[in-house]
Structure 1
Amino acid sequence: MSTDSVKHLSWPAVSWMDMVAGVSLAGLLASSSIAYARLGELPPQAGLMASVLGLLGYGLLGRSRFAVVAPTSSSATVMAAATASLAGGNVLLQMGLSAVLVIMTGLIFMLAALLHLGRISDFIARPVLRGFTLGLAWVICIKQLPSLVGFTPHASGALPMAWELLTHVPQWQPWSVMVGGLACALLYMGTVFRKLPMAFAVIVLGVLANRLFGWHALGVAEVGAIELTWQRPHWPSLNQTQWRQMAEMSIAVMLMVYGESCTSIRTYSLLKKDPIDSNRDLWALGVSNLASGLFNALPVGAGFSQTSASVVYGAQGKATGWVALLALVVLIVTCLPFLASTPEPVLAAIVIFSMWKSLGWGPLKVYFELRRSRLTAIAAALGAVLFGVLDGLLLGIGISFIMALLQLGKGAVQELGRLGKDTVFVDRHTFPEAEPVPGILVLRPDEGLTFANADKLCQDIRARVLDVSLRPRVLVLSLERSPDLDGGAVESLQELAQSLQEHQVRLIFVRLSASVIQVLEVLHLFGVADEHLSELSVHQGVQQALQSTAAPAAVSSASPAATQRSVPVVPG
């Protein structure tokens, strides 16, 4: 074991602020874990065990000093929506599906870490993620209202449920409304004292009042018995189609969890100037979720709310997480019967209040100011509300991929010119004073060549070369924006080289990466010598072109049979 590993596994120094923050965080996690278990449609112990395993797994393997890995409202809601569609109302089957889904999520995290896919969360565009988060917050709050007011609706969708609640106000349970309203008022008052674990304080007050005034006998529902017993996950019997659906859902949960975790980890790492190790975080989240699934618990991630709370409480380092873990275990062992008397309206109020800041349009305001990605963010938000959490998430991921493809298709070709007597070549559209080199056309695609844009860009390049007003003898093509080329891009370049050779235009590549040079040398492009595939600068490439045009062109003096090359088949 390396010295760094030994240092990482050593017990961190514990300051007084870490102890205060850890105990406060334990109280918050105890209440939120039970609340999020309700969102995931699992018993309360599923949330508590997930918090314990999340803190333990990330504490051992994670890098961030401030990340708090525990159940999150978004992952719990997505998991419930995913498993409910397959369970068909069978509670035991849904519990088994939930365990399998969390296990598969952990395995996908670990596979991503094995493949060094630390930037996998980039597959979800930020406008999509922010829009979906807004829609998810509304869905969560709407689905907590029945518990808050003591009414059981028949509708399952967010909008139909909201309409049914509004049209059945006389059937609301008065005592539940009163308890939920008092809890909301206390939570709001607690914003003045931000360093206090107000959510846990509200649960304690709710339990004491429930036992003192007998709210349960008045019709106010409570959590009920919490049993911490381990049972082997029930492996459900599914057909091939259902297993494929489970795999797709686990990928969606993984992307959602990692997107939220990456945001919170990156935010506070940059704020505190800490290093970021995305691949190590993938391993930590993978192990934590695998362990959580084996204990029939919820998926876990570094939620922004609990990570922010840790910093607000005064956390100084990873010791806060270990103190929180120890305090949470003591709390679970000693206070389970006490927590069982928690009124459900109190939990609903805690969930709604935790989502309160996410209900506004503030996070989307920047897109309206920039006049960019507005429809994308709104579509993601409406997708979650109108089509459900899971379908809304999949819609958002689909929108992200479509955005990426559309952006790739917008690539343009820039013509470069010499700026004065310098050796610097710049875009002539941006710098009209830049002058072209007589007989030589210098072009540069403004983005990397891929299968999605190579045909369009190469056609644009060919059209400029064959423009009657230009008719250059040499084309210097800079591919500095292309660190590598896929099969489709290579085929497009091959066709471009053949077309230019037919019109007796010499092609010189510059600013190539080593991998691009290697693949183009293997292909032997039409009329392109190996010395014209280089890492040279644009200026050096132009000098090379001037030298080649000064001498008789080898291509034009040779016979067609001598210059003809066979075209290898390139896989797409």
Structure 2
Amino acid sequence: MSRLTHYLPIIGWLKTYSRQDFSEDLFAGVITAILLVPQGIAYAILAGLPPELGLYASILPPILYALFGTSRALSVGPVSIAAIMIASALSAPEISALGNPVQSTVILSAEIGLIMLLMALLKMGGLVSFISHPVLTGFTSGASLLIIASQLPQLAGLKTPTCGLNVACYGTYIQGFNAATLGIALAALGVLIVFGKPLITLLKKLGLSVSIVTAISKCAPLLTVVVGTLAVSYFSLQSQQHVAVVGQVPSGFPRLNLDFMRSQQWRLLLPSAAFIALIAYVESVAIAKVTANLRGEKITPNQELIALGAANLAAALSGGMPVAGGFSRTMVNFAAGAKTQMAMLIAAGLLSVAVIFFTPWFANIPKAVLAAIILMAILPLLRLKNILHTWRYDRGDGLAELMTLLGVLVFGIEEGIVLGIILTIASHLRKTGQPHIAVVGRIPDTEQFRNIKRHHVETWPHLLFIRIDESIMFSNIDYIENYLTTELAQQPETKHVVLIFTSVSDIDASALEALEHINHALQKAGKTLNIAEAKGPVMDKLKKTDFIEQLKPGKVFFRNVDAIKALAE
């Protein structure tokens, strides 16, 4: 049973499930379902797909995640970042030439699911740590700007521009806006903005509970869809004012099938699927950890790979687009009081009812309203100020974040991510290749040793204490040797060099060989090399060699003060 609970976490929380939990999950599920309908349609259109693919991806995949996932609040379904990556993959010349974007999308879902399950089999749950937060933030901000740029024409009823670099052409292009479409979009934006912080602040002042405030404020997307649809239908805006609408959405569930298995597009889509799988997993786990930390719960990254992989395979089986954990939906689900994944099961059930009985009502939903919903959902992901904050703290990370954003905008989504990862690795190698090294002395009347450039310390003319704040590797041993040579040139009276290994966790073979050469050079110059405060694992490795014997008459000291007692005289 314990092993079964490990792979099916739903069993664990069902054991202690109560009526009170269900009442709170029911409320949260209804609120999340209200958000699922417009977002599912909007993100499918953002990806350049028929709207039903977003709805199908919001039914069966959340159910599979509820069975296998370890987060009790994560809302799995279509997400904006994945949608723009899908659109990028489908627009590639070799993919668009094949036609049938629906089949390509279903194949992407299947490939993403299989890639995630393979990663889980290889115990690659820790892969989430290999994309730094600055790179992920830069990518998210860059993708958000792409999404905003793609939705602005929808707000004004403009077609895709074909002006290229002709600036004068854009003046004529902008003048071709549709007044009715722009009016609907501005009204929708106004409602969404008012239902945000202004209404939340007002409702809180009235003393309403957090769950009620969340429920009211998060009804805004559905309200704008309903009002916009009624306006289009009543005033015949589609036929008379040429307002773009969603169009007919098939009723009922799709037929579950494996027809996509026989397609020839798998190889062409595989690189894009790998990138989407990586980003979907990293972002989903990051969101899941946020809500888990707020409640003192625990996320199991490798199990999340299984859950997300199963959810994407379910999307492929039911003809849906790829899925991941959505930030806005998850936070709505959490704020509405969801206790377990039962809330998402309820939301999926309600959406199933909508797909069966109410899809004819979706035909006249204005695309401008959906564009407004996307813009309001994506704005919190746009973190341009964060680049300045990161730059001030660490220029290497700040540069990686900025170049990832620019790479996404200039070269493309996959290229931007790769550029950010390369810069992060380069920054890490630079830091390890030039570790912090300090000449230290003793704070008077203590056993504390500190940097002579930062503190008033006691030093000795014939003793040189050097603290190395990094493992000693082939990549930094030359830098360490040059530093030591420079310090000895400045302090020619030195007779004993003491290397403090407090922060040294490892010494590789190349570094050990270089230390032996340094030791021989010092001995020829009539000086000794000594070691102090080395960690146990480092000493274990050194004892397997004859390095400690080679040090003589140099010694290994347990404490820095022991070195002073032995060498200061």
TM range (shorter): 0.7 to 0.9
Alignment correspondent of 2:231: 209
- 1:391 paired residue among 405, 415, 422: 415
Structure-to-structure mapping, 1:302-317, within 5 angstroms:
302-317=325-340
Residue 431 of structure 1 deviates from its aligned partner by 3.0
Alignment correspondent of 1:379: 403
Alignment correspondent of 2:276: 253
The aligned amino acid for 2:324 is G
In 1: Cα distance, 2:463 partner to 2:14 partner: 61
| CA deviation string 1:4-57 (max 9, x = no partner) | 644245474334333222111011012111111122222223222322344223
CA contact (8 A) 1:517 1:533 kept: no
The aligned amino acid for 1:211 is S
Alignment correspondent of 1:16: 23
CA contact (8 A) 1:150 1:173 kept: yes
Residue 67 of structure 1 deviates from its aligned partner by 1.9
Q: 1:493 to 1:250 in 2, by over 3 A?
A: farther
The aligned amino acid for 1:396 is G
Structure-to-structure mapping, 1:484-523, within 5 angstroms:
484=506, 489-504=508-523, 507=529, 509=531, 516-517=538-539, 519-521=541-543
The aligned amino acid for 1:292 is A
Residue 327 of structure 1 deviates from its aligned partner by 2.2
In 2: Cα distance, 1:395 partner to 1:527 partner: 47
In 2: Cα distance, 1:322 partner to 1:239 partner: 31
In 1: Cα distance, 2:283 partner to 2:538 partner: 35
In 2: Cα distance, 1:60 partner to 1:214 partner: 45
In 1: Cα distance, 2:315 partner to 2:192 partner: 30
CA contact (8 A) 2:81 2:143 kept: yes
- 2:351 paired residue among 314, 325, 328: 328
Q: 1:388 to 1:512 in 2, by over 3 A?
A: same
Q: 1:287 to 1:408 in 2, by over 3 A?
A: farther
In 1: Cα distance, 2:133 partner to 2:165 partner: 29
Q: 2:324 aligns to what SS in structure 1?
A: strand
In 1: Cα distance, 2:344 partner to 2:2 partner: 24
Q: 1:64 to 1:422 in 2, by over 3 A?
A: same
Residue 467 of structure 1 deviates from its aligned partner by 6.2
Matched, 1:230 2:235: no
Matched, 1:125 2:132: yes
In 2: Cα distance, 1:446 partner to 1:306 partner: 44
Residue 163 of structure 1 deviates from its aligned partner by 8.7
Q: 1:491 to 1:17 in 2, by over 3 A?
A: same
Gaps of 5+ in 2: 201-213
Residue 433 of structure 1 deviates from its aligned partner by 1.2
Alignment correspondent of 1:187: 192
Q: 1:108 to 1:427 in 2, by over 3 A?
A: farther
| CA deviation string 1:425-483 (max 9, x = no partner) | 443333331445x86544332233445434323443455467652544454440x4344
In 1: Cα distance, 2:223 partner to 2:109 partner: 31
In 2: Cα distance, 1:509 partner to 1:322 partner: 62
Q: 1:368 to 1:398 in 2, by over 3 A?
A: closer
Between 511-520 and 384-393, the greater mean CA deviation after superposition: 511-520
The aligned amino acid for 1:298 is M
The aligned amino acid for 2:457 is E
Q: 1:224 to 1:470 in 2, by over 3 A?
A: farther
In 2: Cα distance, 1:354 partner to 1:161 partner: 32
Between 8-17 and 402-411, the greater mean CA deviation after superposition: 8-17
| CA deviation string 1:77-135 (max 9, x = no partner) | 12321342253533645444444444443344344444544443333333333333223
In 2: Cα distance, 1:267 partner to 1:278 partner: 13
CA contact (8 A) 2:498 2:532 kept: no
In 2: Cα distance, 1:434 partner to 1:320 partner: 65
Q: 2:364 aligns to what SS in structure 1?
A: coil
In 2: Cα distance, 1:533 partner to 1:66 partner: 58
Alignment correspondent of 1:558: none
Matched, 1:2 2:8: no
Gaps of 5+ in 1: 551-572
Q: 1:471 to 1:298 in 2, by over 3 A?
A: farther
Alignment correspondent of 1:404: 428
Q: 1:131 aligns to what SS in structure 2?
A: helix
Alignment correspondent of 2:144: 137
Alignment correspondent of 2:172: 167
Residue 139 of structure 1 deviates from its aligned partner by 1.3
CA contact (8 A) 1:507 1:528 kept: no
Alignment correspondent of 2:207: none
Q: 1:171 aligns to what SS in structure 2?
A: coil
- 1:42 paired residue among 28, 41, 49: 49
Alignment correspondent of 1:64: 71
Percent of pairs with identical residues: 25
Q: 1:444 aligns to what SS in structure 2?
A: strand
Q: 1:473 to 1:533 in 2, by over 3 A?
A: closer
The aligned amino acid for 1:400 is T
Q: 1:457 to 1:58 in 2, by over 3 A?
A: farther
CA contact (8 A) 1:417 1:434 kept: yes
Q: 1:239 to 1:353 in 2, by over 3 A?
A: closer
In 1: Cα distance, 2:476 partner to 2:117 partner: 33
Alignment correspondent of 1:481: 503
Q: 1:146 to 1:503 in 2, by over 3 A?
A: same
Structure-to-structure mapping, 1:256-335, within 5 angstroms:
256-335=279-358
CA contact (8 A) 1:426 1:434 kept: no
In 2: Cα distance, 1:516 partner to 1:112 partner: 33
In 2: Cα distance, 1:328 partner to 1:393 partner: 34
In 1: Cα distance, 2:318 partner to 2:561 partner: 64
Q: TM-score, normalised by structure 1?
A: 0.80
Q: How many residues align?
A: 536
The aligned amino acid for 1:213 is F
Residue 324 of structure 1 deviates from its aligned partner by 2.0
Residue 207 of structure 1 deviates from its aligned partner by 3.1
Between 210-219 and 510-519, the greater mean CA deviation after superposition: 510-519
The aligned amino acid for 1:180 is A
In 1: Cα distance, 2:484 partner to 2:93 partner: 52
The aligned amino acid for 1:209 is A
In 2: Cα distance, 1:400 partner to 1:161 partner: 37
| CA deviation string 1:322-375 (max 9, x = no partner) | 322322223223323322432222212211222234456444453466584555
Residue 162 of structure 1 deviates from its aligned partner by 10
Q: 2:215 aligns to what SS in structure 1?
A: coil
Q: 1:271 to 1:37 in 2, by over 3 A?
A: same
| CA deviation string 1:228-284 (max 9, x = no partner) | 2334225553698x57xx33x344323422342233223333333333433333333
Q: 1:414 aligns to what SS in structure 2?
A: strand
Residue 140 of structure 1 deviates from its aligned partner by 0.5
Alignment correspondent of 1:542: 563
In 1: Cα distance, 2:108 partner to 2:449 partner: 54
Q: 1:507 to 1:333 in 2, by over 3 A?
A: farther
The aligned amino acid for 2:239 is A
CA contact (8 A) 2:104 2:265 kept: no
Residue 398 of structure 1 deviates from its aligned partner by 2.9
Residue 533 of structure 1 deviates from its aligned partner by 11
In 2: Cα distance, 1:210 partner to 1:256 partner: 37
CA contact (8 A) 2:408 2:415 kept: yes
The aligned amino acid for 1:309 is V
Q: TM-score, normalised by structure 2?
A: 0.80
In 1: Cα distance, 2:488 partner to 2:543 partner: 23
The aligned amino acid for 2:413 is V
